[in-house]
Amino acid sequence: MLNNQEEPSQIELNQDFWNTLWENKTTHWDIGYPSPAIVNFMSNYPNKNASILIPGCGNAYEAEFLVKNGFTDITLIDIAPIAVNLLKEKFENYPQIKIICGDYFEHNKKYDLQIEQTFFCALDPKKRNDYVKHSASILKHNGSIIGLMFNKDFGNSFPPFGGNSEEYLELFTPYFEIHTLEKCSNSIPPRIDTELFVHFIKKT
């Protein structure tokens, strides 16, 4: 189903594409600090030893926040070598953080929690079903996806790609219980009224 959804990308969104953006410092998605909505949720998350994955992590501000708040098992994965090299330098003295340069869809370790922050919207829309299936496959029993998704149609043939709650319900419901899918109350100013906070729990 692609009605009322973003069109598939006409650009090959591969490693070279993303690495070039980092090389040219055209990382416009980077807000410079951890997302307030994710900070708020994780500040109340009880299991500090949960295994956490942040795919398409970029500068991974959320990871730094998590470590400072007692979390012990965080994995970052990004396809762009430049981004990964920056992360390895940034988090050199953070044993709680593992950093992987690779394709999320080829990563098969199991996790309790996957944090979604501008990764889903960076994928070609035709890969969204694959994202849902792969997320379900790498989450443990009762594992969750939490984070932010756009509630806006950008009309783009390049990232970011938007969406809406109806699309997300159709995509995720076969594999996840929809615990939360609601307008984000604490988006950053440029994204006010364009984001949904999501909390999806893997079905058993």
Dihedral angle, C-alpha 53, 55, 58, 61, nearest 10 °: -30
pLDDT for the residue 30: 87
Instruction: Report if pTM > 0.85.
Output: yes
Per DSSP, the three-state class of 151 is coil
- The residue type at 179: H
Task: Show the tokens assigned to 110.
Answer: 């199991």
C-alpha 64/C-alpha 74 separation (Å) is 10
C-alpha 128/C-alpha 57 separation (Å) is 17
pLDDT for the residue 10: 62
All structural domains of the chain, each given as residue ranges with its CATH number in brackets, are: 34-202 (3.40.50.150)
- Closest of 99, 80, 72 to residue 17, by C-alpha: 80
Report residues of the chain scoring pLDDT below 70.
1-10
Q: What percent of the chain has pLDDT over 70?
A: 95
pLDDT for the residue 3: 42
pLDDT for the residue 88: 97
pLDDT for the residue 133: 98
**Is the CB of residue 196 less than 8 Å from the CB of residue 171?**
no
